[in-house]
Amino acid sequence: MASQMSRGDSRPEPTGWTTNATAPSAPTAPSAPTAPPAPRLARIRDRWLSAVTAALQDDPSVAGAALVGSLGAGRADDWSDVDLLLVVKDEHLDDYAVPDRLPSGPGRRAFAIDAHHNGPIGTRAISAQYVLDDLPLWVDWSIHPISLATWPPASTVLLDRHGITQSLSEYRGAHEPATPKTPDEQEALRLALIPIAAKQLARHSPDALRTIEFLGGSPEGTWPDHFATLHQLLTQFDPLVHPESLAAAHTYLDLLESSN
């Protein structure tokens, strides 16, 4: 995402997606505590993804699209966000670096920010939060030109009109420089990180403590203390500035509380 904080989507949870990932040949170490089920989150994610996939298939300028991250690798759980790799004609690369050019699906885009620094030189990236069923869905869009198109090994190809055969890491070499962020963008990003921290708490991930500290909260205490800290952090945001994102964050915390 646009922040340097980890979104905590690296847990090896099983999913129904068909992927290009290779299964391990040796038993793995005991896993961390499993995140509680959150079928409501999985439903809105699947509904959004189905609609967006259809929209991309109807767009002749889109040469290919793939799920990457935990969904693409088959490690997703109900709490996982969406990472999409979009391949477009070279002459349209900058056109798709604008949030309004990307499909929003059945929800409403509450926030979007340039995330060029997450991709290699010659690519573009957008991080966005969509609100569906009063809940936030975080999506990282990576936009690559056909001339640099590759499918990462752990990915699920949704669309390929160009016959992309290379299979290399999408994060090779030098990255694009970060773009300056306005105070409003920084504030909106901080707000969007609160559901990310909540997701990390649901997974008992140590990333949660780093995210909470990054947001200005204390990393000390018990799980209920961290949960209370997230609620307290929400009170710092003006309800008139980003009302939809703020309301969605409250709903997300309520869902987390009810699932534990």
Whether 241 is covered by a domain: the verdict is yes
CB burial readout 213-229, b (16+ within 10 A) else e? eebebeeeeeeeebbeb
Whether 251 is covered by a domain: the verdict is yes
> What are 87's strand-pairing partners?
64, 144
Name the burial class of residue 251, with classes exposed (0-12), middle (13-18) and buried (19+) by CB atoms within 10 angstroms of its CB. middle
Query: Which segments within 96-189 are labelled E, that is strand?
Result: 108-114, 124-132, 135-145, 156-160
CATH number at residue 120: 3.30.460.10
Cα–Cα dist 90/11, whole Å: 34
- Same domain for 206 and 151: no
Residue 254 predicted with pLDDT over 80: yes
Contacts of 243 (CB under 8 A, 6+ apart): none
The predicted pLDDT at position 7 comes to 56
Q: What is the pLDDT of residues 102-144, one digit of tens each?
A: 999 998 999 999 998 888 888 999 999 999 999 999 999 999 9
Domain that holds residue 49: 39-160
- Same domain for 202 and 135: no
3-class DSSP state for residue 82?
Answer: strand
Whether 114 is covered by a domain: the verdict is yes
Reported as a pLDDT band with limits 50, 70 and 90, residue 33 is low
- Same domain for 200 and 135: no
Do 115 and 1 meet the contact criterion of CB atoms below 8 Å apart?
Answer: yes
Identity (one letter) of the amino acid at 172? R
Residue 30 predicted with pLDDT over 60: no
- Same domain for 135 and 207: no
The predicted pLDDT at position 178 comes to 81
Phi then psi dihedrals of residue 166, to 5 deg: -70, 150
Reported as a pLDDT band with limits 50, 70 and 90, residue 166 is low
- The number of folded domains in the chain is 2
Residue 230 predicted with pLDDT over 90: yes
Q: Where is the domain boundary, 145, 160, 175?
A: 160
> What are 111's strand-pairing partners?
129
Whether 216 is covered by a domain: the verdict is yes
Phi then psi dihedrals of residue 62, to 5 deg: -90, 115
Q: For 35-42, what is the mean pLDDT? A: 91
CA neighbor of 174 nearest in space, from 117, 114, 126, 124: 117
Q: What is the pLDDT of residues 186-227, one digit of tens each?
A: 999 999 999 999 999 999 999 999 999 999 999 999 989 999
- Same domain for 139 and 199: no
Instruction: Tell me what the pLDDT averaged over the chain comes to.
Output: 85
Q: Is 18 left (phi over 0), alpha (psi -120 to 50) or beta?
A: beta
- Same domain for 230 and 138: no
- How far from 51 is each of 54, 84, 107, 185, CA to CA, in Å? 5, 13, 10, 27
pTM: 0.84
Give the long-range contacts of residues 184-187, CB within 8 A, separation 24 or more: 184/241, 185/113, 187/237, 187/241, 187/242
More confident residue, 53 or 34: 53
